[in-house]
């Protein structure tokens, strides 16, 4: 018989209590170990990490900074090995460099930061005894892509005049990827990476379109524009148009050029997660993480080919270049007067309603009056504005349930909701000055991801369960963990949803939570782990035997620096804080949560 903690299958663990410890806290009976740290060498010739002797050359062969999205792909023919793909969203120079002078960064520091951005591919080895994973350095699939690697723009806007620069008159060849936040893994064995807050790297903008994307009019914080004029919009007005895309990477082909898929639109892409239609066409769900920005999907017109043949792989690398881009219009079914901005449930007992997908462009055809198709792809936010898309509370990660097809959208928070001159609460975004966020559950009509309409309801309205303005799918609130600011979402092999947080407003460190989405325990949210001081929990991946999390920006606290650290995780006092990937597994070797 089973005598451990109760819960839905896959979630039978004793919840971790909220805390502010400078470590990764896991449930009783579980253990953890670091898989890989910022700076660990992964490519042939890369030196061991030395925080006092960093160089751009070394960093280009080492694991990057601020790991975010994670994917693990199978590796055939190599026993016990998987391919880990990680995003490196951004750099935090003051925590990387001793004596960093923010007003006068050196060229070497800037070039290290370029090399610490981007993506890593690194083969990892499972350990026989437990859920530990260790990197296989110098594996031929290992790869670093940075802010200066070669990328290709593909799809309907590739080559557009809006994408041409003095260095690239073709409008098709871009140096680098920036601010890769969350992402997705495709059924055809590639990974997707959202270029999110790319605006922060560009200086001296003046156009209305750049303004809509948050690009500043003055110098940037990192001052990259001093070292490469492409980051100065006054000199290279189209360079920022070449960022803000979804990148597709083939991790099995180390010589391939990763592609920026223009058919999926340009915005602050948080993530991109596909689901197939019954006839095999991918549909990719995507959020634009900004207060009052939109939720999108792309429906491919091409069917995936099954199998691993060269022909199938080449065909499948074209799936995201042809199709239709849509934006969501979301409507509540309760009278507007019942949505009072406090989070009080309306009379029908649920925040719910219907929605439809507004087409923006199909190939070279624009569906938006007054905008060409190229303009729709490059200035997608403006297209959403024109068609009256629904202004959401910061759409972060999104994940379709592999079991039910329902799509879960993390809306992390929106402290500007209801402020003067800003949109007020609506049924899908029901709290003004929303500090804690919510998770929306979307069911496409006929369970067809290519459908033009859907039903939706809020699955979770986050916060302290003692706060009446919270909702846990109707589950008794005295039995759930407090949660704030849902960010990344993932499914486990049992069909439970796992949620990681960024920016907890309840006085605890951020963490990772699991929750059943169907059955009697739907809404029973349980906290699985917490992360160190200043950190955000990213990239959760739940396998049978292990949970993987990317501990991002540990030690990122106002006023902290290498000299005055707020965190010394993972290596302890006297050692520099290092963003790292962590594996959590059971001490008795059994599966997670059973
Ligand atoms: Fe990079 Fe929206 O989080
Ligand atoms: Ca309702
Ligand atoms: Ca995120
Ligand atoms: Ca975040």
Q: What is the pLDDT of residue 1?
A: 40
Cβ of 556 closer than 6 Å to ligand 1, yes or no, is: no
Taking the centre of ligand 3 as the mean of its atom positions, its distance from the CA of residue 386, in whole angstroms, is 27
Cβ of 236 closer than 6 Å to ligand 1, yes or no, is: no
Cβ of 290 closer than 6 Å to ligand 1, yes or no, is: no
Structure tokens at 210: 């750049």
The maximal CA–CA distance of the chain, rounded, in angstroms, is 70
Q: 282-287 and 295-300: which strand pairing?
A: antiparallel
Taking Cα atoms as reference points, which of 5, 25, 24, 3 lies closest to residue 524?
5
pLDDT in tens, 113-164: 999 999 999 999 998 788 999 999 999 999 999 999 999 999 999 999 999 9
Q: 365-366 and 392-393: which strand pairing?
A: unpaired
Taking the centre of ligand 4 as the mean of its atom positions, its distance from the CA of residue 293, in whole angstroms, is 15
Distance CA 259, CA 248 (A): 5
pLDDT in tens, 234-257: 999 999 999 999 999 999 999 999
**Which atom belonging to ligand 1 lies closest to the Cα atom of 196?**
1
Q: At 383, which helix (H) or strand (E)?
A: helix 380-387
| DSSP-assigned states of every residue in 316-337 | HTTGGGSEEEEEEEEEESS-GG
Distance CA 494, CA 9 (A): 7
Q: At 109, which helix (H) or strand (E)?
A: helix 107-116
Hey, which bits of 49-179 come out as E strands? 67-74, 81-88, 118-126, 133-135, 143-145, 150-154, 173-175
Taking the centre of ligand 3 as the mean of its atom positions, its distance from the CA of residue 231, in whole angstroms, is 24
Cβ of 375 closer than 6 Å to ligand 1, yes or no, is: no
Q: Which residues of 85-96 are buried (b: 16+ CB within 10 A; e: fewer)?
A: bbbbbbbbbbbb
pLDDT in tens, 48-75: 999 999 999 999 999 999 999 999 999 9
Cβ of 396 closer than 6 Å to ligand 1, yes or no, is: yes
Taking the centre of ligand 2 as the mean of its atom positions, its distance from the CA of residue 261, in whole angstroms, is 37
Query: How many residues appear in the chain?
Result: 594
**Which atom belonging to ligand 1 lies closest to the Cα atom of 502?**
3
Taking the centre of ligand 1 as the mean of its atom positions, its distance from the CA of residue 394, in whole angstroms, is 9
**Which atom belonging to ligand 1 lies closest to the Cα atom of 268?**
2
Q: Is the peptide bond before 510 cis (omega within 30 degrees of 0)?
A: no
Distance CA 343, CA 413 (A): 13
Q: Which residues have CB less than 5 Å away from ligand 4 (the ion)?
A: 487, 502
Place 301 in a pLDDT band, splitting at 50, 70 and 90.
Answer: very high
Cβ of 196 closer than 6 Å to ligand 1, yes or no, is: yes
In 10 A of CB 218, how many CB atoms?
Answer: 7
Closest C-alpha to ligand 1, atom 1? 181
**Which atom belonging to ligand 1 lies closest to the Cα atom of 179?**
1
Q: What is the pLDDT of residue 294?
A: 98
The single residue listed with the structure tokens 């959401």 is: 392
Cβ of 288 closer than 6 Å to ligand 1, yes or no, is: no
Q: What is the pLDDT of residue 4?
A: 72
Beta carbons of 594 and 29 less than 8 angstroms apart: no
Q: What is the pLDDT of residue 129?
A: 83
Distance CA 248, CA 75 (A): 19
Structure tokens at 233: 């919009």
| DSSP-assigned states of every residue in 524-541 | -EEEEEE--TT-EEEEEE
pLDDT in tens, 170-198: 999 999 999 999 999 999 999 999 999 99
| 494-502 average pLDDT score | 98
Q: What is the pLDDT of residue 423?
A: 96
Round the average pLDDT of the chain to a whole number and report it. Answer: 97
Structure tokens at 256: 């391939």
pLDDT of 2 over the 60 cut: no
Distance CA 378, CA 263 (A): 9
Burial of residue 258 (number of CB atoms within 10 Å: 0-12, 13-18, 19+) = buried
pLDDT of 3 over the 70 cut: no
Cβ of 89 closer than 6 Å to ligand 1, yes or no, is: yes
Taking the centre of ligand 3 as the mean of its atom positions, its distance from the CA of residue 181, in whole angstroms, is 6
**Which atom belonging to ligand 1 lies closest to the Cα atom of 181?**
1
Cβ of 289 closer than 6 Å to ligand 1, yes or no, is: yes
Taking the centre of ligand 1 as the mean of its atom positions, its distance from the CA of residue 194, in whole angstroms, is 9
**Which atom belonging to ligand 1 lies closest to the Cα atom of 289?**
2
pTM: 0.98
**Which atom belonging to ligand 1 lies closest to the Cα atom of 182?**
1
Taking the centre of ligand 4 as the mean of its atom positions, its distance from the CA of residue 435, in whole angstroms, is 14
pLDDT in tens, 446-493: 999 999 999 999 999 999 999 999 999 999 999 999 999 999 999 999
pLDDT in tens, 310-348: 999 999 999 999 999 999 999 999 999 999 999 999 999
Cβ of 270 closer than 6 Å to ligand 1, yes or no, is: yes
pLDDT of 374 over the 50 cut: yes
pLDDT of 539 over the 90 cut: yes
Cβ of 181 closer than 6 Å to ligand 1, yes or no, is: yes
């Amino acid at each position: 018989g089973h005598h451990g903690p109760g819960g839905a299958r896959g979630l039978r663990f004793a919840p971790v209590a909220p805390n502010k410890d400078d470590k990764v806290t896991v449930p009783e009976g579980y253990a953890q170990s670091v898989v890989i740290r910022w700076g660990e060498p992964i490519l042939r010739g890369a030196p061991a990490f030395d925080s006092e002797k960093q160089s751009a050359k070394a960093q280009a062969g080492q694991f990057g900074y601020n790991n975010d999205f994670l994917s693990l792909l199978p590796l055939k023919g190599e026993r016990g090995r998987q391919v880990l793909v990680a995003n490196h969203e951004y750099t935090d120079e003051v925590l990387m460099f001793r004596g960093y002078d923010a007003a006068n960064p050196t060229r070497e520091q800037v070039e290290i930061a370029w090399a610490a951005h981007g993506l890593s591919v690194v083969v990892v080895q499972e350990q026989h005894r437990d859920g530990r994973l260790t990197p296989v350095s110098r594996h031929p699939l290992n790869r670093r892509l940075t802010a200066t690697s070669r990328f290709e723009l593909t799809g309907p806007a590739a080559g557009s005049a809006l994408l041409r620069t003095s260095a690239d008159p073709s409008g098709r060849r871009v140096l680098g990827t920036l601010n890769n936040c969350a992402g997705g893994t495709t059924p055809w064995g590639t990974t997707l990476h959202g270029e999110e807050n790319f605006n922060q790297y560009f200086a001296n903008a003046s156009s209305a379109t750049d303004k809509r994307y948050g690009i500043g009019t003055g110098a940037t914080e990192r001052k990259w524009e001093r070292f490469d004029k492409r980051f100065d919009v006054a000199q290279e007005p189209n360079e920022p148009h070449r960022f803000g895309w979804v990148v597709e990477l083939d991790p099995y082909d180390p010589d391939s050029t990763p592609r920026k898929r223009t058919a999926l639109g340009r915005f602050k892409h948080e993530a991109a997660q596909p689901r197939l239609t019954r006839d095999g066409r991918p549909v990719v769900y995507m959020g634009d993480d900004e207060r009052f920005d939109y939720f999108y999907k792309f429906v491919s017109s091409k069917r995936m080919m099954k199998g691993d043949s060269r022909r199938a792989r080449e065909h499948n690398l074209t799936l995201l270049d042809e199709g239709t881009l849509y934006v969501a219009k979301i409507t509540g079914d309760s009278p507007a007067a019942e949505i009072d901005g406090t989070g009080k449930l309306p009379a029908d007992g649920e925040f719910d309603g219907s929605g439809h997908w507004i087409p923006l462009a199909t190939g070279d055809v624009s569906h938006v009056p007054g905008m060409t198709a190229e303009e729709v792809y490059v200035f997608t936010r403006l297209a959403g504005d024109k068609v009256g898309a629904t202004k959401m509370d910061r759409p972060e990660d999104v994940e379709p349930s592999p079991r039910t097809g329902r799509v879960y959208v993390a809306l992390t928070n929106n402290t500007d909701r209801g402020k003067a001159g800003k949109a007020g609460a609506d049924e899908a975004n029901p709290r003004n000055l929303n500090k804690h966020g919510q998770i929306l559950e979307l069911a496409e009509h006929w369970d067809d991801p290519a459908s033009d309409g859907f039903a939706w309801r809020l699955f979770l309205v986050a916060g302290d369960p003692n706060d009446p303005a919270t909702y846990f799918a109707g589950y008794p609130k005295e039995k759930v963990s407090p949660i704030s600011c849902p960010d990344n979402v993932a499914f486990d092999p049992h069909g439970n949803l796992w949620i990681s947080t960024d920016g907890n407003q309840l006085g605890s460190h951020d963490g990772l939570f699991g929750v059943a989405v169907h059955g009697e325990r739907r809404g029973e949210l349980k906290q699985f782990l917490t992360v160190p001081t200043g950190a955000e929990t990213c990239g959760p991946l739940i396998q049978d035997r292990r949970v993987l999390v990317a501990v991002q920006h540990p030690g990122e606290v106002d006023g902290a620096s290498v000299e005055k650290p707020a965190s010394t995780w993972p290596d302890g006092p006297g050692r520099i804080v290092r963003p790292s990937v962590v594996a959590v597994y059971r001490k008795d070797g059994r599966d997670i949560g059973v």
